[in-house]
Every structure is written in structure tokens, then in C-alpha cells.
Amino acid sequence: MKVLDTSIQGCFIIQPRVFEDSRGFFLETYQEERYAKMLNTELPFVQDNHSRSQVGVLRGLHFQKTKPQGKLVRVVCGEIFDVAVDIRPDSPTFRQWQGVYLSEQNKKQLWVPPGLAHGFAVVSEIADLEYKCTDYYDPADEACLAWDDPVLNIDWPINNPILSDKDKRGVSLGELV
């Protein structure tokens, strides 16, 4: 297993060890002791989520205001461009974003630590995304950062994304701080 640093402090790309042969493949997607050491965190995962979206859908950039969630993200079908944005004002990487393609082919995972906004764009016909969370989802605590904030200038791989009403109302980074 390889852990690759990103431009954001505490955010990592994980390349799990994959065992492949003529029958198919096997990989370990999570092992508590190894991941705690690798991610340098003791945060428990308390919730697993599964999301399916069609090509052109952009979800995010979501976060919780007072109960931030760490997320361990992977794609089991299709491909997405996954994005994490550092919205922690005291962080040395505040206002930076990291994008990575996650797919069923590359089997990479993205660790998004608590305190970051998270979103993704679907670049395949459909994509199934599974992610573990370190805190429970609380709709009253949820917020959304504008996916097209000009200060962030995220280089999304799709034009005219399909957005939910909530994602259309995302606020700018300047409104958060």
C-alpha cells in the first residue's frame, strides 16, 4: 500500500495493494490498525455511505460546520474527479484544493480529513462511490461551498454540471471566513 501526499495538509491519496490474476482481483479496502497508523489518526469511522450518480453530475462541495467529517472515499464502479478543499482558517494549506481521479480501474482512495469541503464530478456513464465517515451526517449542520468559486478556481473536467438545488446555492469561500 502506498500513501501519497497531496498539496493539502493531512489529505492523502491511497493506492492499495491489489492482487490480480486470471480469476479477478482482491484488495483490502480498510483495516483499522493500518489505516489509523497510515493516516496518523485515531478517528473512528461511524458511518458508511454509497452514492450513485450519472455522467455530468457534480456533488459538493459539502462540509459540516461544527461536526466536521473525515471521509475515506473510493469508487467501486465508474470514474469521478474527486476534490477536497481546505477551509480550515488556521491551516497552512487554507484555500488550496486537491483533485484526483478515482475509478474502479485505478482503485485509489482519497482521505479527506475533518475540516475540509468535499465534492466530485462524474466523468463516466455512472459512478458508484463508497465512503466512510468519522462523524454522523447532520443535515442541520451541513453547508455547501460554491463549486465554481473564482477564488478557488477548481479545474473541473466537466462543463455545465448537473447540480442539486442545494449545490446551486453554495456560498463563496469569502462568505465562510
Q: List, for residues 130-171, the tens digit of each pLDDT value.
A: 999 999 999 999 999 999 999 999 999 999 999 999 999 999
Give domain status of residue 66, yes or no: yes
| Percentage above 90 pLDDT, the chain | 86
CB atoms within 10 A of CB 52: 13
Q: What is the pLDDT of residue 166?
A: 95
Residue 44 scores a pLDDT above 90:
no
At residue 177, the pLDDT reads: 67
Quote the domain boundaries for residue 60. 2-17+28-176
Q: Is the pLDDT of residue 33 over 90?
A: no
The residue annotated as part of the active site, out of 50, 118, 131, 136, is 131
Cell of 118: 468535499
The reported pLDDT for the residue numbered 107 is: 97
Model pTM above 0.85: yes
Strands 12-15 and 2-5, bridge-based pairing: antiparallel
Write down the pLDDT at residue 111. Answer: 96
In this structure, what CATH number is given to the domain that contains residue 41?
2.60.120.10
* Comparison of pLDDT for 173 and 1, the residue scoring more: 173
Active-site residue 50, yes or no?
Answer: no
Lowest mean pLDDT among 41-50, 69-78, 79-88: 41-50
Question: For residue 29, what pLDDT is reported?
Answer: 87
Question: Is 22 within a domain?
Answer: no
Question: Virtual CA dihedral for 162, 71, 87, 66, nearest 10 degrees?
Answer: 110
Options 62, 118, 136, 137, the catalytic residue = 62
Q: What residue type is assigned to position 165 of the chain?
A: D
Report the candidate in 129, 14, 15, 131 with the shortest Cα–Cα distance to residue 75: 129
28, 133 in Cβ contact below 8 A?
no
Distances in Å between the alpha carbon of 44 and those of 40, 47, 105, 136?
A: 12, 9, 28, 11
Q: Would residue 129 count as lying in a domain?
A: yes
* Pairing of β 79-86 and β 142-144: unpaired
- The chain-wide mean pLDDT, for the chain, equals 94
How much is the pLDDT for 110? 97
Q: Within a domain: residue 113?
A: yes
Residue 136: per-residue pLDDT: 96
131 assigned to active site: yes
Number of domains in the chain: 1
